[in-house]
A and B are shown apart, each in its own frame.
Chain A
Amino acid sequence: MEKSDYKNIYVFAEQREGVIQSVALELLGKAHELAAILNEKVVAILCGHQIKSQAQMLIEYGADEVLCIDEPEMKDYLTEQYSQAIYQVVMQYKPSILMIGATTIGRDLAPRLACHLNTGLTADCTRLEISEEGELMMTRPAFGGNLMATIMCTNHRPQMSTVRPGVMQRMQRDASRKGEVVDFKPTFDASKFKVRLVKNVKEDKGKVDITEAKVLVSGGRGVGCKEGFEKLQSLAETFPNAEVSSSRAMVDAGVIDHDRQVGQTGKTVRPDLYLALGISGAIQHLAGMEESDLIIAVNKDKYAPIFGVADLGIVCDLNKVVPLLTARLAKEIKK
């Protein structure tokens, strides 16, 4: 492998049912920033069927070029179909960096590809930087968020990483950006298509995406029960763009859906306001929310670790605070 043959940053633009996923736009934002340092370009890999109309949006969010693999085989994600196609892209175009969202799709695809390409892969990166030598430095949490590790892949190409949704920030959409859309035709070995998708079931989980909310009203063990969360919902409704989220304890207790879980095994969030109510703040939880702009915590236990990351800490019974705060904010926000 000749390292100098490899250049440009490629981003897997994940789509589901023809809709580009927000993680793809977040990766483009980061790729755009890194490409400026390296003086390289950003290429989005768009796989799907009748998907080409989405390419322009990728350009407006930071891609300089879109490689479009528009094939019936690419309609729904299946491991083998996608990994064959993207493997061929890498072999032909030789990217120096390949970024993939750490979703159930990306985490199924990326290790398969990395292994086939005999290169390194770093999972769930929370920071991506370029070293003085122009190498990618990939930082990720380990040991349940207790430790951070910076990982490099200096002797193999491409340098591959997955990044969880909500970790990177997308750039401002710029409708004036121009870029080329190139069709790529992979050659498929259909004899290896062994997995068949029988059905894709969407469960109505309340259709929330807590990573998109500007304000999160988040409840933990201190909230206790479903009725408690209904009160948090009323509080959330006083804000224009707020959702209720939760710590793992309440998800495990079956009080609230996994969709709303913040933390290492849930979602990573960075809202403008994270209101932590009755959350003690296990390290796995902190790993998912400590990048929030403003953190306000209410907890009865003044030694709760959540206060270690809070900008404002209130030692008080949340059951007394929540109704009063809801009433007060209803007035304040209406004004």
Chain B
Amino acid sequence: MNIIVCIKQVPNTNVIKINPTTGTLIRDGVPSIMNPDDKGGLEMALRLKDQLGAKVTVITMGPPQADAICREAFAMGADRAIILSDRRFAGADTLATSYALSGAFKNLDYDMIICGRQAIDGDTAQVPVSLAQHLDLPQVTYVTDLEVNGNICTVTKETEEGHQILEVPTPCVLTVLASANQPRYMSVKGIMEAFDKEVEIWNADQIDVDQARLGLSGSPTRVKKSFTKPQKTPGQLYEVDAEEAVELIVSKLKEKFII
């Protein structure tokens, strides 16, 4: 079985800070990591490899620096890694990104495509689903568990009220939550070998696409402006003992007619 896992290199948004004077993001020194949901997806694929002997390929789109997460994937146990990297992909929104990826998939063999639910930098969850549509494949999103029997995947999907059990035949697209599993650590042997393996770099000529639909020109959405949220003026701050604290809270609740 061939499994392809889509991964993305993202800034660790938990440690991003805003420059208080300019109101812009401070990106310097922010570590880049493999997106957590994608890592959950990779772990799910590697468990299938352990059970059934699958071949696991990781693919990412981004600058050549994405090499770091490809090496990490190798060290965890992936067999092949591809970076789609070309200036012609720049400025792509989720539609153009998923279109470029679909062009790469047309040149690859796969039984299953596993993606993370969403990336922590954009949080849109749109690329995997659009990819499924481009490739005309069935999809299941928000996956927390997977069992494969022949060509049938039995999938657990998390919902607001609980979960669903769904059956989907391969080939299909699954999107996985980081909470689905505890990703394995890179092994020492894996790390040693990871540096000898080749990370393939594919450009726009190596995928099956209409070039006009790539990058910014293939993107129906445009970012009109971006801004940091206007800071709310904080209210009064009091350092008091518990009795005074209760008085302050109660009088505020009365002032605002909560009680």
Q: Could you tell me which A residues sit within 8 Å of B by CB distance? A: 16, 79-80, 103-104, 107-108, 110-112, 114-116, 118-124, 137, 141-144, 146-156, 192, 194-203, 205, 215, 239, 264, 272-273, 282-284, 290, 293-294, 296, 298, 302, 307-317, 320-321, 324-325, 328-329, 332-333
Contacts and interface: CB of A to CB of B under 8 A. Distances in A.
B206 interface: no
B93 interface: yes
The 9 closest A-B pairs by CB, nearest first: A144-B13, A120-B220, A120-B221, A203-B162, A111-B129, A320-B242, A115-B133, A123-B124, A313-B237
Contact of B16 (A116, A120, A141, A144): A144
A332 to B, nearest CB: 5
Contact of A200 (B139, B164, B172, B237): B164
A215 B223 contact: no
B252 to A, nearest CB: 5
B14 A144 contact: yes
Interface stretch (B46-54, B152-160, B183-191): B152-160
A194 B124 contact: no
B239 A273 contact: no
Given A111-B127, A324-B246, 17 more contacts: A103-B160, A112-B132, A121-B126, A143-B11, A144-B16, A150-B227, A151-B222, A153-B221, A195-B167, A198-B165, A198-B166, A203-B162, A273-B256, A296-B249, A313-B236, A324-B242, A324-B245
Contacts, number: 236
Contact of B235 (A120, A142, A313): A313
A167 to B, nearest CB: 14
Interface of B: 11, 13-14, 16, 18, 25, 93-95, 98, 120-127, 129-130, 132-134, 136, 138-142, 154, 157-169, 172, 219-229, 231-232, 234-243, 245-246, 248-250, 252-253, 256, 258-259
B130 A115 contact: yes
23 contacts: A79-B138, A104-B141, A104-B158, A115-B95, A116-B133, A119-B95, A119-B220, A124-B124, A141-B123, A148-B227, A150-B224, A154-B222, A195-B138, A195-B139, A196-B167, A205-B162, A273-B253, A284-B14, A293-B256, A310-B235, A313-B234, A314-B238, A316-B239
Q: Which of A137, A195, A311 has the most CB of B within 10 A?
A: A195
Contact of B162 (A80, A201, A296): A201
B164 A115 contact: no
A122 B93 CA distance: 10
A95 to B, nearest CB: 15
Contact of B234 (A144, A310, A328): A310
A148 B241 CA distance: 38
A199 B13 CA distance: 36
A198 B169 CA distance: 13
B129 A112 contact: yes
Contact of A150 (B93, B129, B223): B223
**Secondary structure class of chain A's binding surface, majority of residues:** mixed
Given A124-B123, A197-B166, A329 B234 contact: no
B154 to A, nearest CB: 7
Contacts of A149: 223, 225-226
B98 to A, nearest CB: 7
A315 B123 CA distance: 34
Contact of B220 (A104, A153, A307): A153
Contacts of A205: 161-162
A110 B125 CA distance: 10
A153 B220 CA distance: 6
A266 B18 CA distance: 22
A135 B10 CA distance: 31
Contacts of A272: 256, 258
A141 B138 CA distance: 29
B15 to A, nearest CB: 10
A142 to B, nearest CB: 6
A141 to B, nearest CB: 8
Nearest to B258: A273
Nearest to A78: B166
Contact of A152 (B224, B249, B253, B258): B224
B228 A309 contact: no
Contact of B125 (A107, A147, A194, A309): A107
Contact of B226 (A137, A150, A264, A313): A150
Taking each of B18, B154, B163, B253, which has the highest tally of chain A beta carbons within 10 Å of its own beta carbon?
A: B253
Contacts of B237: 302, 307, 310, 313-315
B133 A111 contact: yes
B146 to A, nearest CB: 14
Contacts of A116: 133
A294 B256 contact: yes
Contact of B14 (A79, A111, A282): A282
Contacts of A290: 232
A165 B120 CA distance: 20
B98 A115 contact: yes
Contacts of B134: 115
Contacts of B220: 118-120, 153, 155-156
Contact of A146 (B132, B228, B235, B249): B228
Given A146-B16, A150-B224, A315-B239, A329 B164 contact: no
Contact of A312 (B121, B126, B232, B249): B249
A284 B16 CA distance: 11
